[in-house]
Structure 1
Amino acid sequence: MPTSKYFAAIAAVGCFLGVAVAGGPSVEPSKSTCQEGSPVAKTKNGTVCGTRLPTFSQDAFLGVPFAEPPIGDLRLRHPKSFNAAYTAYDATSQPPSCPGYAGFDVGIGPLNEDCLYLNVIVPDCNDAPGKKLPVLVWIYGGGFDAGGIADPRFNMSYIVQESAAMGQPILGVSINYRVGGWGFLASKEVLEDGSANIGLFDQRLALRWLSENIEAFGGDPDQITIWGESAGAFSVGYHLIGFDGQHDNLFRAAIMESGTMLGPAIQDAKTLALDGGYQAMYDNVTKVVGCDTAKDTLECLRTVPYASLFAAFEPQVYTPILDGTFLTRSPSESLAMGKVAEVAVLLGANTDEGTASFWGPRGTLQANDDVAAFIQSLNGGGLTQSEVDQLLLLYPDIPSLGCPYGTGNDRFADQGWMYKRGASIAGDIFIHAGRRGTAKYFAQSQGQKNNPVYSYRFDQSPWNGTEELIATVPPVYSTHFTELIFVFHNPSQDLSNYIGPYSSYHQLSKLMCRSWISFVGNLDPNHHHISGVPFWPVYNLESPINIVYRTTDNNGGTFLEKDIYRGVQLDWWNEHWLTLRS
């Protein structure tokens, strides 16, 4: 159960929309009424009992089930709709997080296979009774290997609070989905069983549940925006191309921070079996837990004790694959064929993405041959020697051109003599090229009036020069993940990723948070009611513009730029996605 300190930390100011307050005595969820005074929502499954967040003037519904518990025979299967009826479901405490790894699971509470729940944060809205509010749905990152809606950094109360304060209230929703081997196990056995990309199907089922039930909380099912960062942003990108772009009106807009559908390689039925493919990882797991001699190894994995399977999955890192159902072809092919959902888009990247420890080749690139080998290894190999040579020319050994950008001739040689060269390559292939390619696709393929596209570049370093779990050893600068705490507008000083003590940082956070809220409600980020800020124009091919976010203490603050940085380099990646299996 959350403590009173937790609720004090997650409260916000708002607009609650016509959700009834239950009367009667305090009862257990198995009885017929909610606790007296608690907010309630009447979903298709029954009455959900929430909790009041008085500090924020909000109601919270925490741990609402959207799928059957994926345990027993439902382990390692696509989620099954939650069809049980309830009379008074207790949604007053954070749900467990799905089993995860890699350090990103720190601080997100207990892990449990029974984890397919979502949270809904609802602001007060007494001045507009009955009005349905736009909905912002958060899909967490964590490399498809960890994450959870209980993570206090991703507390939706603050962004919902800010929406009410600016007179544009929204509902905030966050959804759990399975990660690691639990959510993305892949092999020929998994494909034959029709059980690939479990985590993506978890997300999709949560969106379907919201489409059917969000009105019960005061939300508008026709005004849902899906939002993610890193693996969450890649997830959003996959929803845009998923099912050949048929999104069944489950969302009208998408926000992608530091990730799209382009960049990382995606394995398919053929590449699963190659050296380094997921088949070998699957075979190793079955051997470790004693299922390798079973007639049906996947069915055997469903019977293995949780602790044993958790340990067997721990060394493995899986990501989505081409399963023939959710993802039917490579993302670049989907874009080329126009098999993409037609929605409004806001997307962007951080200037120095490549300094993240897991992207950049720290301590390994000393000479030109090292850089060549690094390039050849990208996305599992596949580039020809000629293509490697082209990239060596496009990313020369000139420190002033490397990442972190704008740091002159400093090589950061303790990380490798050619570290900046490799960090630039890594940031471009995994994030920057995909951001530009995706922005251009939506700008040229959709009607700007109904489905506008907005692009940003985040150019602010963390206040203390480190980014927990991302880049704790210099150089850091505006690395991966640094923008996210600004958008959530979470001021908590005890978080590992604190905004900082400076007022300029908090002003930048307010601007970004309000711009995202404005996009959710208006499909236009400019209704933020903050003066002295450049108007953020729609991205178009004739004049592609990014808004660049900086504090007023950093070279004059936020400004606009023409989106032409590293033009030849980013064009090269966008012309070679098929070779790179993206």
Structure 2
Amino acid sequence: MSTNESQTFTHPLLGPVTGLINTSTPHTLQFRSIPFAIIAKRFRQSTLLTSFPPTHSRNFTIYGVACPSPPHSDQTEASGGLLPGEEEKIFDEETCLNLTISVPRDALGDERRALPIMVYVHGGGFTVGSAHISALHDTTRLVEFSIQDAHPVIIVSIHYRLHFLGFLACQDFFSEASSLNSPPANFGLHDQRTAFMWIKPFISGFGGDPNRITAFGESAGSGSIAFHMCSDVPLFNRAILMSGLPASVPPLELKYKEAEYRALLKYCDIDEEDPGRLQRLRVFLHHSYQDENFWPRGFPTYFTEDELIGGCDWVDEIVIGDAFYEGWLLIDGLKHVELDKFLLSTHANLGPSNAAKLLSTYGIEDGMDDNLFWNKLSFLMGDIMFSEPIHKFAISLASSKKKKVYRYTQTIRNPFQGSLLHQIPGHHFIDLLFLFQTLRERYPSKRLRDISEEYGRRWIRFAAGEEPWEEYKLDGEKIMVINGRAGFEVRNRREDEVESAISEEGERRYARWEVIGEILGDLVKRDGVRRAMNVKWKWGTDDEIFRLAGLKGPCEDVTV
């Protein structure tokens, strides 16, 4: 069998489609870059495709395109370089809405098999990302592993518009959308929804069960899944949330998105008073917007997401977790932060008492060494953006008993000598370097290969309806701890605090997260939710912390 062997399958609704079989995954057929929607015009909502365009090829053996985005290293820098077979990516705005499906070959055409579906939503801060056409995130190995594990699944990876093309919002959009009876913003989130709406009717023809869909994603992909759970449109049945909630990429008020729009007009040398400015921007050429149509039950923010996500009655169970050192993602930006300015900003925004409590908790003090300050600050900001909201959400969900939640945390060190993140423990997105099984030949030890397999096994079996480990409950607080020594080990909170305190990585910061929660709760009492939310956001941007991280969210758009 050659590396590029293909197989044609006649889908009951789509007709003949040709996919790719790779020698390393002989039991899996992959259909690359199937179009699921069309974009009629820039800054307009996409339209679901119910059949292929007449001129579109039915050969899905090569990857298509991705949404244009700023240059970035993807996760190749973390994984030690490009993988063999990684193709040069092509970018095109108009045809970027495609998805890739990896299927066990013996399930094709057999709707009685009704295999569980896993749908991957990639991250990238809503600004970058092309995992649907990436060798690192290739899903064939995970499907092949599911077959060997006797729990076969079908995996779909979807794409969506990014950056300004996907998440710009402004009054001009609203004025135009009202005449079209169309949602005015959050194009990227609507693209994701449209992808799920395509999967629902067509996946059974590939041998999948549309009533057993598990959405999984990391960072902004995880946050996206949580955003959808705050809407009233049922898209999936289970969710795996890896290092991301709406609190990490919160929806912004229209006035902030309007400022982005004006800045973009200026950058493109378009007069902001020109009546034709929107059309000129369409020809020339992220953070979502608070949209009441997308979120009819309320805007998901740090202060509301627990209730909104927990109240999603069409998702049964959730896996949620974080990494030990999420703040490594922010380290480059943090090196520009000056200690004295940070201390002034913290006191101004939090007040003297809360500022003193927070700074003491994280060991930040006037006159400290700059390198030590940046280290402490990176942990603090990573905790504020990722770990503390996840901790708070898990406790809230377990307390409500509305649905089962399985919690994990991981401290695995980056094992790749060629990576700038080599030996960093539990950095942001390290899950992806183990889950997809694509780096097995690069791991320096069998232990790491075993951990990678266990990642795949646990996620697959959850999608199949099994418990991945013990449920997280408040009376036991059982948490799956993933590290390079024990692999997968269930501990209760107290056990983890004791064990991690003597580990090389350092103590898990549960108590510190609760201090952050207390301070933010105090801000709500003092200033109200809106003011407290603005303080949480403004406090970071004052010191160019979140802004430099490039993490922007949707718009408080009345439409998702």
Normalization by structure 2: what TM-score?
Answer: 0.78
Residue of structure 1 equivalent to 2:9: 39
Query: After superposition, where does 1:459-470 map in structure 2 within 5 Å?
Result: 459-464=411-416, 467=419
Cα shift at 1:467: 5.0
Residue of structure 2 equivalent to 1:278: 257
CA 1:559/1:123 → structure 2, altered by over 3 Å: closer, same or farther?
same
CA 1:78/1:573 → structure 2, altered by over 3 Å: closer, same or farther?
farther
2:165 is aligned, of 182, 189, 207, to 182
Q: Distance in 1 between matches of 2:341 and 2:89?
A: 41
Residue of structure 2 equivalent to 1:444: 399
Q: Distance in 2 between matches of 1:333 and 1:320?
A: 16
Per-residue Cα deviation, 1:182-234 (whole angstroms, up to 9, x for no partner) = 11112232344343111111000000110111101111000001110111111
2:428 is aligned, of 480, 485, 488, to 480
1:115 is aligned, of 85, 96, 102, to 96
Letter in 2 for 1:268: E
Give the structure, 1 or 2, with the largest relative contact order (CA under 8 Å, sep 6 or more).
2
Q: Distance in 2 between matches of 1:453 and 1:258?
A: 15
More deviation in 256-265 or 83-92?
83-92
Query: After superposition, where does 1:295-374 map in structure 2 within 5 Å?
Result: 295-304=275-284, 309=285, 318-327=286-295, 328-331=298-301, 332-336=303-307, 339-341=311-313, 342-357=315-330, 361-362=334-335, 364-365=337-338, 367=339, 369-373=340-344
- The yes-or-no answer on 1:133 pairing with 2:115 is yes
Residue of structure 1 equivalent to 2:374: 419
**DSSP-derived class of the 1:224 partner:** strand
Residue of structure 2 equivalent to 1:101: 70
1:78 is aligned, of 36, 39, 45, to 45
Letter in 2 for 1:320: S
CA contact under 8 A between 1:363 and 1:419: conserved in structure 2?
A: no
Per-residue Cα deviation, 1:68-96 (whole angstroms, up to 9, x for no partner) = 1x2xx521111111144567723222110
Residue of structure 2 equivalent to 1:232: 221
Letter in 1 for 2:101: V
- The yes-or-no answer on 1:60 pairing with 2:30 is yes
Q: Distance in 2 between matches of 1:132 and 1:190?
A: 41
Cα shift at 1:247: 3.3
Residue of structure 2 equivalent to 1:257: 242
Q: Distance in 1 between matches of 2:321 and 2:418?
A: 21
CA 1:358/1:177 → structure 2, altered by over 3 Å: closer, same or farther?
farther
CA contact under 8 A between 2:109 and 2:207: conserved in structure 1?
A: no
Q: Distance in 2 between matches of 1:161 and 1:76?
A: 39
Residue of structure 2 equivalent to 1:580: 533
Per-residue Cα deviation, 1:213-265 (whole angstroms, up to 9, x for no partner) = 11011110000011101111111111111x2xx232x2000111111222344
CA 1:483/1:55 → structure 2, altered by over 3 Å: closer, same or farther?
closer
CA 1:462/1:567 → structure 2, altered by over 3 Å: closer, same or farther?
closer
Residue of structure 1 equivalent to 2:266: 287
Residue of structure 2 equivalent to 1:21: none
- The yes-or-no answer on 1:158 pairing with 2:141 is yes
Q: Distance in 2 between matches of 1:283 and 1:127?
A: 50
Per-residue Cα deviation, 1:124-144 (whole angstroms, up to 9, x for no partner) = 337995311000101111111
**DSSP-derived class of the 1:223 partner:** strand
Residue of structure 2 equivalent to 1:531: none
Letter in 2 for 1:423: S
| Structure with more strand by fraction | 2
**DSSP-derived class of the 1:251 partner:** coil
Cα shift at 1:359: 7.8
Matched residue count: 481
CA contact under 8 A between 2:250 and 2:288: conserved in structure 1?
A: no
- The yes-or-no answer on 1:204 pairing with 2:220 is no
Q: Distance in 2 between matches of 1:360 and 1:79?
A: 34
CA contact under 8 A between 1:489 and 1:510: conserved in structure 2?
A: yes
CA contact under 8 A between 2:107 and 2:207: conserved in structure 1?
A: no
What residue ranges of structure 1 are gaps of 5+ in the alignment? 9-34, 310-317, 399-410, 526-535
More deviation in 180-189 or 507-516?
180-189
Letter in 2 for 1:294: D
Letter in 1 for 2:281: L
CA contact under 8 A between 2:107 and 2:113: conserved in structure 1?
A: no
Q: What is the aligned-residue RMSD (CA, Å)?
A: 3.0
Letter in 1 for 2:114: K
1:457 is aligned, of 401, 409, 412, to 409
Q: Distance in 2 between matches of 1:295 and 1:483?
A: 47
Normalization by structure 1: what TM-score?
Answer: 0.76
Letter in 1 for 2:146: S
Letter in 2 for 1:267: L
CA 1:372/1:108 → structure 2, altered by over 3 Å: closer, same or farther?
farther
Letter in 2 for 1:50: G
Letter in 1 for 2:471: V
Q: Distance in 2 between matches of 1:216 and 1:558?
A: 36
Letter in 1 for 2:306: L
CA 1:108/1:210 → structure 2, altered by over 3 Å: closer, same or farther?
farther
CA 1:200/1:430 → structure 2, altered by over 3 Å: closer, same or farther?
same
Per-residue Cα deviation, 1:252-306 (whole angstroms, up to 9, x for no partner) = 001111112223443112xx3xxxx3323211222333443431432332223xx
**DSSP-derived class of the 1:510 partner:** helix
CA 1:343/1:362 → structure 2, altered by over 3 Å: closer, same or farther?
farther
- The yes-or-no answer on 1:170 pairing with 2:142 is no
Residue of structure 2 equivalent to 1:267: 252
Q: Distance in 1 between matches of 2:337 and 2:269?
A: 37
**DSSP-derived class of the 2:106 partner:** coil
Residue of structure 2 equivalent to 1:407: none
